[in-house]
Amino acid sequence: MKTLCIPKQQNVLKTGIAFGIFLMISLFTTTVNAQETERTVTGQVTSNYGIVPSATVLLKGTYIGVVCDDDGKFTFPQKLKENDVLVVTSLGFKDREIKITGDTTYIEPFLEDIPIIITAALRTKATTAPLDIEKK
């Protein structure tokens, strides 16, 4: 009876060790995978009018981000992973959300124009003219 028990215990030990190794390997590989998918994203913001200078690119829900240069180009300051969402904002355009997919490292957000009619009525004051008349 005893001789039968020993191999059984050894079996448990063996499977335990095997499972441990498997666990470690799987853990290890997932971290390796995550490292692979994190990447630096660059891009250029464009619109109907061509490139858009000085747009803001932020990671959705945060204030982590960057302001584009005069050529509309940017390099996102933080490494991004799949399914991260960037929000591009600029004066006079609708916000644009861009989802990072697959192995994207370069994006070209296209901003849509806002429908707005420019009107103009400023307050004015004729200061000097009436004063001159009074002086005379």
Partner 1 sequence: MRRYLLLVCFIFMPFLHAQQSDFKTIDFTKAENIADRHKGEALTNLPMLAHQLTYTLDTDVERFRAIYYWVCHNIKGEYGLMLKNDRKRQKLKDDPEALHIWNHQFKRQVFKKLLNDKETLCTGYAYLVQELSRLAGLECKIINGYGLDGSMKSKNLEMPNHSWNVIKLNGKWYLCDATWSSGFTDVTTELFEFDYDNSFFLMQPSAFIKTHQPVDKEWTLLPQK
Rounded CA-CA distance 90/57 in Å is 9
How many angstroms separate the Cα of 25 from the Cα of each of 11, 17, 32?
21, 12, 10
Q: What is the token pair recorded at 125?
A: 């004051």
* Contact stretch for partner 1 (CB under 8 A) within 13-21, 26-34, 49-57, 99-107: 49-57
135 makes contact with partner 1 (CB under 8 A) = no
21 makes contact with partner 1 (CB under 8 A) = no
128 makes contact with partner 1 (CB under 8 A) = yes
Looking at beta carbons only, is 36 or 113 nearer to partner 1? 113
* Contact stretch for partner 1 (CB under 8 A) within 20-28, 71-79, 97-105, 123-131: 123-131
Sheet arrangement for strand 46-47 = 50-51, 46-47, 110-111
First vs last C-alpha separation in the chain: 129
Q: Which residues bind partner 1 (CB under 8 A)?
A: 49, 54, 56, 58, 63, 65, 67, 87, 89, 91-92, 113, 116-129
